[in-house]
Amino acid sequence: MGYDHGHQEAANEGLGGAGAWLCSLTGRGPMKAQAIYKTIGVVIRDFVNIQLTRFEMKIPSLLTVSPDRLVRVTDPDEEVFALYTGLAGSSECATEFDAAKSEQAHRHPTQVGSLGFVDSGASRVAIRLEIRAPPPQPTDRPAGTVQNRRAARRAKACSSSQNARDIQVELKQDIFATNYRSGDTGSIVWRASIHLAEFLWYELLFPSPAEAPLVGGPSEQDGDKDERGFLDMKRLTGLGRILELGAGTGSLGILCADMFPPESRASWTVSDQFDLLAIIARNFSHNQIGFSTSGPRGSDREESGVLFSVEEIDWVEVEKQWLKTQDIHQPRVQGTQKKADRRARYDLILAVDCLYNESLILPLLRTIDHFASDESDGCCSRTGPTLVIVLSELRSSEVVEAFVRHWLALGPAWSIFRLPSSLLHRPYPSLNIANPHYVLWCAWKNRPSDPATLARTT
């Protein structure tokens, strides 16, 4: 059977390109190809299920949206196709988006068409965020219901001026380092950090409605599910232990500093390479935000009274530690293992616009894997496993594909999801982070299954 004829018959049988390929490869008709196709599918499905049963999914408590409403990432090619197809088909949407944002340009400078920086030629950049209540959303509920009355009270509260916030900061940039230090990208302010800060402020003050209750989470009787957003900001700003990788100028932490109440016991580690710690420290001091340089705060937050700590974390150096823990032939030294177990644990890891150099993809991912904890660590019992948020502006598809491929290659212990645009567009249609030029992934590590459970499934 020729390829063209087999392709046509396979198409008639609904097998598509995969069936046509099997017809050509085996020389069999479409019915036989269909049987082979189904058999392969069953084998792959069973293999994936067996791998997944080795781990128990425990959803991070910081995540308030059900994973069912997120897009699970399982294949790098499919993920890249979805992202860049959406980007290519968004020209009309992007034009409307930019037009809407031009009316609000005074909120902060954003140079459309640049590589992602705000202004690489200025020694100082003034940033202003205006956080305002979103417009009321239409509802299909009958008038006069309890939910409608509750939503009306909430809308009235949101419309009050006390919930509106203006955040103004001034950030210094190291123009010399940008122009003369090879490979330096962290000495200037990148807009992705500003846009994530804007999103987090809206999550704090005006959380988006949760259309479906979180699996295993509280029922509607336990609280108003409509007041949950993507993240549990009350928990995060009260007790959260945050690690920011590749912080650059420190813009994200500075813009989010006022989220944390005076009584907060949270901690935020702002980290980057050693050469960038000076610009981070200058920006925190310039905006009159206290910080320490003695490493992660963790449990001593109450004693120090300082929310932020500035710390050197070099991904390449952390990768070396990670590789030692992965080498099964490496003898385990008891003292070294105890020291590793004492490393700081985090509830949230942030990596914002860090996908720019393909050679740093593996060091970044291995650094994330090194600091992320699954629920079995015990120290994360308050909030479950570490939630990892990666926000990136879409540039090179090759770099994005390599990042997703290597992340998936870390193994089935990782659950990786993408936040769909539908969750970002509502109820804030003009949020910068909803621009199709961005992708926001969230992920966490799952603990190994109980041996008895694993024995029953293998």
CATH of the domain at 313: 3.40.50.150
Domain that holds residue 432: 58-113+227-327+342-455
What is d(CA 349, CA 423) in angstroms, rounded to the nearest whole number? 21
Mean pLDDT, rounded, for 294-307: 56
Q: Does a structural domain hold residue 183?
A: no
**By percentage, how much of the chain surpasses pLDDT 90?**
44
Asked if omega into 363 is within 30° of 0 (cis), the reply is no
pLDDT surpasses 80 at 101? no
If one counts the domains in the chain, the total is 1
β-pair type (447-448, 55-56):
antiparallel
Look at 430 and 171; give whichever has higher pLDDT: 171
Q: How far apart are CA 63 and CA 259, in angstroms?
A: 18
Q: pTM for this structure?
A: 0.74
User: Does residue 46 lie in a domain region?
Assistant: no
Is 176 a domain residue? no
pLDDT-derived band at 140, boundaries 50, 70, 90: low
What is the structure's pLDDT at 185? 66
Percent of the chain at pLDDT exceeding 70: 56
Residue 63 carries which side chain, given as an amino acid letter? L
> What are the tens digits of pLDDT across the range 183-195?
556 678 989 999 9
Query: Where does the pLDDT of residue 325 fall: very low under 50, low under 70, confident under 90, or very high at 90 and above?
Result: confident
Q: What is the pLDDT of residue 229?
A: 78
Backbone phi and psi for residue 48, each to the nearest 5 degrees, phi listed first: -65, -45
Q: Is residue 186 part of a domain?
A: no
pLDDT band at 306 (very low <50, low <70, confident <90, very high): confident
Q: What does the pLDDT read at residue 183?
A: 54
- Report pLDDT for 89: 75
* Residues 236-290 pLDDT 10s: 999 999 999 999 999 999 999 999 999 999 999 999 999 999 999 999 999 999 9
Residue 260 counted as domain residue: yes
Question: Over 90: is that where the pLDDT of 99 sits?
Answer: no
For the cut 80, the answer to whether the pLDDT of residue 56 exceeds it is no
237 in any annotated domain: yes
Residue 104 lies in a domain: yes
Least confident of 121-135, 206-220, 342-356: 206-220
Structural domain contains residue 165? no
Q: Is the pLDDT of residue 453 over 60?
A: no
Mean model confidence pLDDT for the chain: 74
Nearest to 86 by CA among 335, 422, 403: 422
At 327 the pLDDT is 67
